[in-house]
């Protein structure tokens, strides 16, 4: 690959790293990452992926930008309120790094479309940046069935968690740890569903880090671990997790062979 | 006529800061140099003095500008100005501090120096009599000026693979030298429309050639598409790794003529699609010049009748192109005193034209300049700077010109007028443009039994014109000291032959001319004719001392080839006669051959062997047992050893090894052959003999850490075990980049801190 002078300068701090180098930067520029959800997690993740020179970034979201998003979803700006989030995200990325080709899917994921979206560009890595259990289980199942690596994460109030799934590696999936979405009553109510803005920044950026490391083939991933972050205590914990033989999607006798839609709990207030 | 962009003005103003940074030590010399050179400021052979080359766009200069130049030459220079062969004016002997003043004060009168050096479009040349000459198709001056303005606006034009020379001619006679330019335009009218024939990829210097005809006719207002297209083609396809093969004509050699033209046309098409570069110069053909009733009879070569009746141009070419400010001021005063306006054009022949003079005034001017100009073509010959100031020069070309003038001073006009203007280069490079002259001389060195002598290759028949440009052809070599007499005999021969033009004479009298060259080519021994062994104006025996192996290498290579062929011949003779002296002579010639590259030029056997050991055995290029063998040779010479028969293998190896080293010389005259010592150190590497430095990447002027980033990118392009070179600046770059690459596991093979004045880092990929 021939870098032009602007690329040499733009990615110089990457190329200097012996773990990245020109070859690694070339890999990044040739790679494709799908970011599902352009909210608290997806926004910072997508921005760092774009800055890193991921050649193709897919953005999936059916929502439009609201003023209340802007406290944490830093890919959108005040002028974007009312605009589809994927469009606003695409504009921000295009302005930041013209090397990146942004593909937008202005829709919510469900069992009928998610595999098509993943296969649309044969994405190398998927970031789960959604905000509800139904979507999280759906993404997990889809990635396991499609044999795609992905990063799961979730945030609420002052805490967050993430893990990485890598297929064919005996890696535990999200469903290995959490068998089913929690029952209705256990899901936090709207009054409880506050979140400190930077939580998405910290955890989403960690997700982007996992994606970049996977593409470069460097370091140790979070596969087999759940990393939790407590911002009030300022404590990170890395908990080892095991593959569950009885897992519904990746166990020895999986019962989920086709994607299912879990009920999306509505705010009870 | 040209407009200077704000950005260029700011750059010139910023030059002061760069100099100050450099003087304070904040800016490294290696980094300062490219900046300085792009401003047309070159260091002279005497350290700490500089030459400043101004851009006189297409030779167009006003009286006010000329006054300022005269003033600056007195104030900061050494009291004279130099007219070049590219319509520029140069100041010489300037201190660094004063280069700042010159640049700033020149700006006051709208003269810039930027782009007169460096890898950029150089001054766009133009027929100096365009607009007034009788035979012109139309005036091309404005087109040349627009081309200058176009590239001045473009900052990317400062970073081409090498220089880019554009020329305009107002008639098929090609007085602007369009047929030997990188891109040349010759005025042409078709269907009552102004336009140009387009030539390209021509040039003098190394591997010279006349230009290819790229287009038979293009509308005049479309020239910028063609100039821009050539720039883009050069940018994309020029060879940046080897500056000796970087010029546009080497793209043509690589691609072949047809492919070159095809690709060029694609670039033109692309530029036309992408940009609007259409000019709006009035294309109607008109002839509305003011005329004057007083005329005069032309009796002097320096007066040229113009197309507007009753007006004349006067040509002024001072000795060697150098005009003292005293004489310049006489000229300025004369023009100042005229009651009407004249125009001035710097010529491309180391002189200047005063145009639009009325008959009486032309005659008066002739009187004013009488003392420092000459009326004969041969007196207005051209010579490059030569070995006096140029590191690459072999012969003292300017002194030869003086000697020729001296020789013809007393020759009767009938004979003197027979010869055309002569073009003299001090070496095979073409700074004196020897290939375009009907007579051209190129300096070289020849080794004889008695040592080196300065010689000139005589070229005849160079001629530039539309559709029919030819470069002069070499007829033979003559010792420098015999050249003036030879020219005199040649002039007599022509006079006797009765042919009018020199070209006709050349065609019809070929045999007698060749006979004349043969007669003069004879080289007497030092006893018979000591003078031949000295160059003009030099009291030292002719040698190559102090002349670096630069671009002008052909003369040096000739000397090496001579030694090498002697060595091989003697070896063959030994095979027949088995006389030991033949082996001795063979080895002596072989040992001497390449020493010239190391600045050693001697005929003393012991010193030859000693220097050979120092430069080639101890450095590992030649097997170490050769040191002992050379000792044996000395023993043989002084009679301690009777026969060299036992050492035949050594003698054979030595000749072959020197031949291999010679064959491996890069265009920069470095030996690229693998060292014997390296072979021994890494026997495993034997198999990988194919692996060699694939290329050298120029990272001069690239700051940390981007130089390391670029080096890494280049490393990623080569395969494991392959070697690559990087040119790096002093200071941080050469300190850090090798360490960083080593840190990545690559092997640092060599850091040569004196590689043509730069640092060359050689790395092998892990």
Helix (H, G, I), strand (E, B) or coil at A159: strand
Contacts of B715 in chain A (CB under 8 A): 22
Right CATH number for B303-375 from 3.30.1370.120, 2.30.42.10, 3.40.50.970, 3.40.50.300?
3.30.1370.120
Residue B208 in contact with residue B188, Cβ under 8 Å?
no
Give yes or no on whether B303-375 and B554-663 have one common fold. Answer: no
Helix (H, G, I), strand (E, B) or coil at B256: coil
Give the minimum alpha-carbon distance from B754 to chain A in angstroms, rounded to a whole number. Answer: 27
Q: Which domains does chain A have, with CATH numbers?
A: 18-240 (3.40.50.720)
Helix (H, G, I), strand (E, B) or coil at B100: helix
Question: Residue B547: what pLDDT?
Answer: 54
φ, ψ of residue A18 to 5 degrees: the values are -65, -25
CB-based contact A12 B743, cutoff 8 Å: no
Domain boundaries, chain B: 6-108, 125-274, 303-375, 381-533, 554-663, 689-764
Contacts of B713 in chain A (CB under 8 A): 3, 8, 15, 22
Report how far residue B576's alpha carbon sits from residue B188's, in angstroms, rounded to the nearest whole number.
66
Nearest by CB: A18 against B705, B706, B744 = B744
Report how far residue A157's alpha carbon sits from residue B748's, in angstroms, rounded to the nearest whole number.
54
Q: State the best of B707, B712, B745 to mutate against chain A, taking most chain A CBs within 10 Å.
A: B712
Give the minimum alpha-carbon distance from A2 to chain B in angstroms, rounded to a whole number. Answer: 8
**If we measure between CA atoms, which residue out of A71, A173, A56 comes closest to residue A105?**
A56
The CATH superfamily holding the domain B381-533 is: Sulfite Reductase Hemoprotein, domain 1 (3.30.413.10)
Class of domain B554-663: mainly alpha
- Identify the helix (H) or strand (E) that includes residue B741: helix B732-743
Alpha carbon B563 to its chain centroid, in Å, reads 27
**If we measure between CA atoms, which residue out of B751, B752, B741, B754 comes closest to residue B704?**
B741
Structure-token pair, residue B309: 């009746």
B357 forms beta bridges with: B312
CATH number of B125-274: 3.30.413.10
Q: Which residues contact B541 (CB under 8 A, 6 or more apart)?
A: B451, B533, B534
Q: State the best of B709, B714, B724 to mutate against chain A, taking most chain A CBs within 10 Å.
A: B709
Interface of B with A (CB under 8 A): 705-706, 708-710, 712-713, 715-717, 740, 743-744
Report how far residue B628's alpha carbon sits from residue B613's, in angstroms, rounded to the nearest whole number.
10
Q: How many CB pairs under 8 A join A and B?
A: 31
The pLDDT tens digits for A7-38 are 999 999 999 998 999 999 999 999 999 999 99
Q: State the best of A22, A29, A53 to mutate against chain B, taking most chain B CBs within 10 Å.
A: A22
CB-based contact A22 B708, cutoff 8 Å: no
Structure-token pair, residue B355: 């145009």
Question: Residue B263: what pLDDT?
Answer: 95
CATH number of B689-764: 3.30.110.40
Report how far residue A41's alpha carbon sits from residue A61's, in angstroms, rounded to the nearest whole number.
12
Report how far residue B554's alpha carbon sits from residue A201's, in angstroms, rounded to the nearest whole number.
67
User: What pLDDT band is residue A136 in, cutting at 50, 70 and 90?
Assistant: very high
User: What pLDDT band is residue A1 in, cutting at 50, 70 and 90?
Assistant: low
Q: State the best of A1, A21, A28 to mutate against chain B, taking most chain B CBs within 10 Å.
A: A21
- Identify the helix (H) or strand (E) that includes residue B454: strand B451-460
Contacts of B698 in chain A (CB under 8 A): none
Report how far residue B59's alpha carbon sits from residue B41's, in angstroms, rounded to the nearest whole number.
19
pLDDT, block means (10 residues), chain B with 766 residues: 81 88 79 81 76 93 96 92 93 92 93 87 95 93 94 83 93 95 96 94 88 95 96 88 80 92 95 93 67 79 90 93 94 94 94 94 93 89 79 81 92 92 87 92 82 90 90 92 95 92 91 92 88 88 60 54 83 86 92 82 84 90 91 90 90 92 74 76 39 69 86 87 87 87 88 74 89
Q: How far apart are the first and last CA of chain B?
A: 57
**Position with higher pLDDT, A265 vs B573:** B573
Q: Which residue of B has its CA nearest to A1?
A: B717
Checking if the pLDDT of A70 tops 50, the result is yes
CB of A96 less than 8 A from some CB of B: no
Question: Residue A216: what pLDDT?
Answer: 96
Average pLDDT over residues A110-127: 94
Question: Residue A168: what pLDDT?
Answer: 78
Within 10 angstroms of residue B545's Cβ, the number of other Cβ atoms is 10
Count, in order, helices (H) and strands (E) of chain A: 9, 8
The H-assigned helical ranges of B275-412 are: 325-337, 359-369, 397-409
pTM exceeding 0.95: no
Residue A56 in contact with residue A33, Cβ under 8 Å?
yes
Class of domain B6-108: alpha beta
CB-based contact B716 A16, cutoff 8 Å: no
The H-assigned helical ranges of B322-461 are: 325-337, 359-369, 397-409, 413-416
User: What pLDDT band is residue A71 in, cutting at 50, 70 and 90?
Assistant: very high
**Position with higher pLDDT, A172 vs B548:** A172
Question: Residue B584: what pLDDT?
Answer: 93
Nearest by CB: A8 against B710, B740, B743 = B710
Alpha carbon B550 to its chain centroid, in Å, reads 11
Q: Which residues contact A148 (CB under 8 A, 6 or more apart)?
A: A118, A123, A125, A126, A142, A167
């Amino acid at each position: 690959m021939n870098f032009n002078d602007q690329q040499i300068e733009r990615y110089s701090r990457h190329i200097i790293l012996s773990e990245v180098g020109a070859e690694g930067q070339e890999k990044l520029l040739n790679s494709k990452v799908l970011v599902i959800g352009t909210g608290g997690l997806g926004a910072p993740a997508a921005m760092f992926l774009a800055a890193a020179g991921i050649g193709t970034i897919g953005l999936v979201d059916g929502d439009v930008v609201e003023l209340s998003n802007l406290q944490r979803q830093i890919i959108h700006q005040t002028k974007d309120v009312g605009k589809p989030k994927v469009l606003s995200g695409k504009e921000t990325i295009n302005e930041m790094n013209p090397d990146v080709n942004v593909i937008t899917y202005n829709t919510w994921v469900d069992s009928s479309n998610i595999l098509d979206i993943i296969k649309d560009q044969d994405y190398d890595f998927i970031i789960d940046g959604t905000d509800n259990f139904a979507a999280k289980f759906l993404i997990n199942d889809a990635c396991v069935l499609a044999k795609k690596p992905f990063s799961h994460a979730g945030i609420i109030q002052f805490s967050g968690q993430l893990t990485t799934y890598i297929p064919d590696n005996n890696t535990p999936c999200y469903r290995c740890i959490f068998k089913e979405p929690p029952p209705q009553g256990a899901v936090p109510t709207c009054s409880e569903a506050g979140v400190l803005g930077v939580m998405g920044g910290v955890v989403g950026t960690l997700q982007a880090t996992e994606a970049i490391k996977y593409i470069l083939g460097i370091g140790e991933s979070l596969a087999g671990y759940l990393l939790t972050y407590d911002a009030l205590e300022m404590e990170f914990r890395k908990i080892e997790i095991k593959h569950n033989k009885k897992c519904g999607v990746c166990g020895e006798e999986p019962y989920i062979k086709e994607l299912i839609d879990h009920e999306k709990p509505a705010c009870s207030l | 006529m040209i407009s200077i962009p704000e950005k260029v003005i700011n750059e010139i103003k910023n030059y002061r800061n760069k100099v100050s940074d450099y003087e304070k030590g904040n800016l490294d010399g290696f980094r300062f140099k490219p900046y300085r050179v792009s401003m047309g400021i070159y260091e002279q052979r005497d350290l700490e003095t500089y030459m400043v080359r101004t851009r006189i766009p297409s030779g167009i200069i006003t009286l006010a500008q000329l006054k300022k130049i005269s003033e600056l030459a007195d104030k900061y220079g050494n009291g004279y100005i130099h007219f070049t062969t590219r319509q520029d004016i140069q100041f010489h002997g300037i201190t660094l501090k004063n280069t700042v003043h010159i640049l700033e004060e020149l700006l006051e009168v709208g003269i810039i120096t930027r782009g007169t050096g460096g890898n950029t479009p150089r001054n766009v040349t133009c027929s100096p009599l365009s607009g007034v000459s009788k035979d012109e198709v139309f005036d091309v001056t404005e087109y040349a000026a627009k081309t200058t303005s176009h590239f001045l606006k473009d900052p990317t034009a400062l970073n081409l693979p090498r220089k880019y020379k554009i020329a305009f001619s107002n008639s098929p006679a090609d007085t602007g030298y369009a047929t030997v330019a990188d891109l040349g335009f010759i005025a042409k009218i078709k269907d009552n429309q102004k336009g140009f024939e387009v030539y390209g990829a021509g040039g003098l210097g190394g591997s010279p050639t006349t230009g290819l005809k790229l287009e038979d006719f293009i509308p005049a207002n479309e020239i910028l598409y063609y100039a821009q297209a050539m720039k883009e083609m050069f940018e994309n396809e020029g060879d940046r790794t080897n500056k000796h093969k970087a010029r546009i004509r080497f793209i043509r050699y690589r691609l072949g003529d047809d492919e070159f033209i095809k690709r060029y046309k694609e670039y033109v098409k692309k530029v036309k699609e992408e940009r609007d570069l259409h000019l709006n110069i009035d294309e109607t053909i008109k002839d509305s010049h003011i005329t004057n009733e007083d005329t005069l009879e032309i009796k002097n070569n320096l007066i040229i009748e113009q197309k507007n009746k009753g007006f004349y141009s006067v040509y002024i070419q001072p000795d060697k192109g150098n005009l003292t400010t005293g004489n310049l001021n006489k000229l300025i005063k004369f023009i100042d005193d005229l009651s009407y306006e004249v125009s001035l054009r710097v010529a491309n022949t180391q002189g200047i034209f005063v145009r639009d003079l009325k008959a009486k005034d032309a005659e008066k001017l002739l009187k004013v300049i009488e003392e420092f100009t000459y009326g004969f073509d041969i007196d207005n010959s051209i010579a490059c700077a030569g070995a006096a100031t140029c590191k690459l020069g072999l012969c003292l070309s300017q002194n030869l010109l003086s000697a020729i003038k001296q020789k013809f001073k007393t020759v009767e006009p009938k004979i003197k007028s027979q010869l055309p203007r002569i073009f003299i280069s001090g070496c095979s490079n073409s700074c004196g443009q020897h290939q375009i002259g009907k007579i051209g001389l190129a300096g070289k060195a020849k080794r004889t039994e008695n040592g080196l002598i300065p010689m000139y290759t005589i070229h005849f028949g160079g001629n530039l014109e539309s559709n029919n440009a030819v470069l002069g052809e070499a007829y033979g070599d003559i010792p420098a000291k015999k050249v003036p007499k030879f020219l005199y005999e040649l002039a007599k021969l022509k006079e006797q032959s009765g042919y009018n033009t020199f070209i006709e004479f050349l065609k019809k009298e070929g045999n007698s001319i060749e006979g004349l060259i043969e007669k003069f080519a004879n080289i007497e021994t030092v006893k018979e004719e000591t003078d031949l062994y000295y160059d003009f104006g030099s009291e030292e025996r002719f040698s190559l001392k102090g002349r670096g192996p630069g671009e002008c290498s052909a003369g040096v290579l000739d000397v090496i080839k001579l030694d090498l062929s002697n060595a091989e011949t003697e070896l063959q003779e030994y095979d027949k006669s088995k006389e030991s002296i033949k082996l001795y002579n063979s080895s002596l010639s072989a040992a001497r051959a390449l020493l010239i590259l190391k600045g050693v030029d001697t005929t003393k056997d012991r010193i030859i062997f000693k220097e050979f050991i120092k430069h080639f055995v101890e450095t590992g290029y030649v097997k170490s047992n050769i040191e002992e063998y050379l000792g044996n040779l000395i023993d043989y010479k002084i009679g301690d050893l009777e026969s060299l028969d036992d050492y035949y293998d050594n003698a054979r190896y030595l000749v072959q090894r020197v031949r291999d080293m010679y064959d491996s010389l890069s265009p920069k005259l470095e030996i690229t052959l693998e060292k014997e010592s390296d072979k021994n150190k890494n026997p495993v590497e034997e198999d990988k003999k194919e692996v060699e430095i694939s290329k050298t990447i120029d990272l001069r002027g690239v700051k940390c850490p981007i130089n390391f980033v670029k080096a890494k990118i280049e490393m990623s392009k080569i395969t494991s075990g392959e070697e690559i070179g990087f040119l790096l600046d002093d200071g941080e770059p050469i300190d850090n980049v090798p360490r960083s690459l080593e840190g990545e596991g690559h092997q640092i093979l060599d850091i040569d801190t004196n590689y043509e004045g730069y640092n060359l880092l050689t790395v092998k990929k892990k």
